[in-house]
Structure 1
């Protein structure tokens, strides 16, 4: 594991408080903020003890990420966090990069996981997403932080939704600029997700898994989720017709219903 400091990730637990309550860990994407999942809080907190955390190098877990930082490092940090919280088993839901953390966690510590929810994630690199991330890195390197953050909604949300929620998007951009995690950290997190490839190991993951994609995702082709579900032995694929990469924000009611139904099912 790359050296990122010995401190355990700071986490917040919301929802049910009983130690024996079913638990779910929520892992955000490239931005890394646990607050990303706010549209899911109301739907999950009645049923679950919900563990929120900011990824290393972001928010409440500031750090300068080292060269070579990897998805494996991120998974190891979650393992240490769960141990510190005394959580022996939980569901795990990850969005995009967070989904990669979930896959790696399932391979490294399968005993810690019950069910997996992978949202607009992937098992191996694809040329379209690489092109998108390369453009985003170029913006950061050659134009600056504000341009990088201003471009982010284009990759996250469908055009019609962006028009209808222009004021909200402007607030998100302002917040993103003010709380930017740092160019070096973003570059190393992007490098980590571009190196990630577990396609040949999917058959080792025996957890029941919901693979959820959106047909109009600009950043990650929905076919990546299709390939992911095909490779996982116990996966259910749901492809929503619209909602974009950030469907958790653009259509939370439909998204939450699908996730809760999957987690509550006895099958």
Structure 2
């Protein structure tokens, strides 16, 4: 399986297709496999890259103090190793927070940025929600963490209609043999993230996409991004929850494809 050495960790990645590169960057769970539906849709015309964040999936389980800045730096090192000078960045949730950092600190590395179900900085609701999730993880363990989290990530109707798929997602959220300390640190990292004062510095094509019924990163956080980033476009999908990329696959992919096609890499 392909891994790259970024100095103090090995990062697992997969790539498919040829053409302009797209970095599909996952959220808090950190596993690149979440993008399977999007890779399938876009790899016919683009070079698609997914990776497991450090501490997740098949990448090195580093017992460090995690930060969103560190996660973004890891992704830049991956791009460097793969010879990718500029790419489209599609970041979901934590991957979108990472994308904001890259757009602000490494602006020459991105051709466009998709901010999917993400946030510009934490607030009282966000901190309460993730403090509760961390409490479940620390007190009850990874299995209960997965079972609890899934109820905030998906619309109730989807949970009812897709029980087998929901069980698969619960297992993903449980993090296999990932040490609990890593996810605890990653939760602390996202609660510390705040780039609201630099939204106006992002100078590239940006698409903000979110579901109306997202309970994890509610729509108003995406509204803040769309209003704060100059020229940002916004797509609001009627349902889908936080995992809208799994729930409304066709609608979500259509928005991605339309946006990326309109902003080719020169």
TM-score range, shorter chain: over 0.9
Q: 2:29 aligns with which of 9, 31, 54?
A: 31
1:81, 1:266 → 2: CA distance? Answer: 23
Report the CA distance shift for 1:177/1:10 in structure 2 as closer, same or farther (over 3 A).
closer
Report the 3-state secondary structure (helix = DSSP H, G, I; strand = E; otherwise coil) of the residue aligned with 2:14. strand
Where does 1:1-267 land on structure 2 (aligned, <5 Å)? 6-16=8-18, 21-67=19-65, 69-177=66-174, 179-265=176-262
Whether contact under 8 Å (1:8, 1:77) holds in the other structure is: no
1:174, 1:63 → 2: CA distance? Answer: 18
Shift of 1:200: 0.8
Uncovered stretches (5+) of structure 1, i.e. residues with no partner? none
Whether contact under 8 Å (1:248, 1:255) holds in the other structure is: yes
Shift of 1:180: 4.5
2:176, 2:232 → 1: CA distance? Answer: 36
1:109, 1:178 → 2: CA distance? Answer: 30
Report the 3-state secondary structure (helix = DSSP H, G, I; strand = E; otherwise coil) of the residue aligned with 1:135. helix
Aligned residues: 259
Report the 3-state secondary structure (helix = DSSP H, G, I; strand = E; otherwise coil) of the residue aligned with 2:214. coil
Uncovered stretches (5+) of structure 2, i.e. residues with no partner? 1-5
1:180, 1:22 → 2: CA distance? Answer: 35
Shift of 1:53: 0.4
Report the 3-state secondary structure (helix = DSSP H, G, I; strand = E; otherwise coil) of the residue aligned with 1:9. strand
Shift of 1:100: 0.4
Runs of 4+ in 1 over 6 A off after TM superposition: none
Q: 1:168-203 deviations in whole A, cap 9, x for unaligned?
A: 212332454471522111111111111111111111
1:178, 1:48 → 2: CA distance? Answer: 29
Report the CA distance shift for 1:58/1:221 in structure 2 as closer, same or farther (over 3 A).
same
1:243, 1:78 → 2: CA distance? Answer: 27
Report the 3-state secondary structure (helix = DSSP H, G, I; strand = E; otherwise coil) of the residue aligned with 1:25. strand
What is the TM-score of this pair, normalised by structure 1?
A: 0.93
Shift of 1:111: 0.6
Point out the more displaced range, 58-67 or 198-207: 58-67
Report the 3-state secondary structure (helix = DSSP H, G, I; strand = E; otherwise coil) of the residue aligned with 1:115. strand
Q: 1:199-245 deviations in whole A, cap 9, x for unaligned?
A: 11111110100000111001111010000111101210111111100
Report the 3-state secondary structure (helix = DSSP H, G, I; strand = E; otherwise coil) of the residue aligned with 2:11. coil
Q: Please provide the CA RMSD for this pair.
A: 1.6
